[in-house]
Each structure stands twice: as C-alpha cells, then as structure tokens.
Amino acid sequence: MDLALWLAVQTERLMPRIIVGAAIISEGRVLACERAQPPEMAGKWEFPGGKVDPGETEEQALVRECQEELGVDVVVGPRVGDDIEMLGGTALLRVYVATLANGAQPIALEHSDLRWLGVGELHSVPWLPADAPIVHALEPLLPSSP
Ligand SMILES: Nc1nc2c([nH]c(=O)n2[C@H]2C[C@H](O)[C@@H](COP(=O)(O)OP(=O)(O)OP(=O)(O)O)O2)c(=O)[nH]1
C-alpha cells in the first residue's frame, strides 16, 4: 500500500463518515422504507437518511434527505440507540427520532415501498443488518396498541 492510500485509510478510521437516519414516528407507528438500489441492498428496509455532507449539521442532513427521498419536512428529535459501526469502522449509522412537520404524507420518491409499522410489526420487514439494534431500541418508544 503506498503512503497516500495508507493515509486515506487511517483518516477514514479516525474520522468515520456519519450516516444519519430518521425514525419518523406518527400516530404510534414508525416509517420503514424499502431500498430500491443498489441491487445488493434492494428489498432491504431502512430509515430514510444518508451521508452528512461537508459543512452540514446532522439535523440539516436529515431534513434534506427526508425532502429528497420522501418529499416531507421533518422535525428532528433525540437520538435513538447507539452509533452502529459499518463498513469496517469507516462509517457510523446514527439514528434520530423525527416527526412530520405538517400534515404532508411521505411519498416513495427513491424507495420501492414505504410502510408504517406499529410495535408488533417492527420485525415484519427485512431490515438492513446494521439497523437491527436501532429497531430494538425503538420498541419502548412505540405504544403497544397504536
Ligand atoms: N439511509 C440509511 N442508510 C443505511 C441504513 N442502514 C444502513 O446500513 N445504511 C447504509 C446503506 C448505505 O450503505 C449507507 C447510506 O447510503 P445512502 O445511499 O442512503 O446515502 P446517500 O443518500 O447519502 O447516498 P449517495 O450520496 O451515495 O447517493 O448506509 C439506514 O437505516 N438508513
């Protein structure tokens, strides 16, 4: 490995890329989104979100991603669960609870399907593997009968 590549790898290890996700809760249910791509992730379910761009706060990134992916404004609340290490420690998944800012309903602009899941339905979809601890941490936040 040459010096430039080695330095790039070390920098990524020291400063993992933050990927933010929004656990949007409405009427006692959380929004799950089915990935449409890339092929190896298609059919797996996730929280809307994505990479935080340089110069952007995590909250700004979540608001932007929810606009791009779902066409809705969200209000970002507290964190849910711990950071999840991904991609060999070069990225961290960090999920926040969020609510819809107004009456607008999410539209699947980039996903292949959307579902509102009550606490008893949380495990009814195949989540991306990294999301399992977050889904678990959400359970106490959802009412037993939405
Ligand atoms: N948004 C999101 N990404 C997740 C979750 N769980 C999980 O493993 N990931 C992974 C999938 C991807 O490898 C990565 C996020 O990539 P992305 O494609 O959604 O990010 P992005 O919108 O910024 O995409 P781009 O700029 O590369 O087009 O994190 C999750 O719950 N939500």
| Helix, strand, coil percentages in the chain from 3-state DSSP, rounded to 5 | 30, 30, 40
3 is a domain residue: no
Tell me, what's the ipTM?
Answer: 0.94
Report the number of distinct structural domains present in the chain: 1
- From 40, 90, 93, the mutation candidate for ligand 1 (largest count of ligand atoms within 8 A of CB) is 93
Name the closest-CA residue to atom 26, ligand 1.
51
9 is a domain residue: no
8 is a domain residue: no
pLDDT at 15: 81
* Residue range of the domain that includes 97: 16-141
Q: Indicate whether residue 128 lines ligand 1 (CB < 6 A).
A: yes
Q: Does residue 15 sit in helix, strand or coil?
A: coil
Q: Indicate whether residue 134 lines ligand 1 (CB < 6 A).
A: no
Q: Does residue 81 sit in helix, strand or coil?
A: coil
DSSP 37-70: -STTTTT-EE-SEEEPPTT--HHHHHHHHHHHHH
Q: Would you give per-residue pLDDT tens digits along the chain (146 residues)?
A: 788 888 877 776 678 899 999 999 999 999 999 999 999 999 999 999 999 998 999 999 999 999 999 999 999 999 999 999 998 888 999 999 999 998 889 999 999 999 999 999 999 999 999 999 999 999 999 999 76
The CATH number given to whatever domain includes residue 87 is 3.90.79.10
pLDDT at 98: 98
Name the closest-CA residue to atom 8, ligand 1.
130
Tell which residue, 99, 104, 110, has the closest CA to residue 46: 110
**How far is ligand 1, taken at its centre, from the CA of residue 145, in Å?**
30
Atom of ligand 1 nearest to the CA of 129: 8
pLDDT at 13: 65
29 is a domain residue: yes
Tell which residue, 31, 28, 30, 32, has the closest CA to residue 143: 28
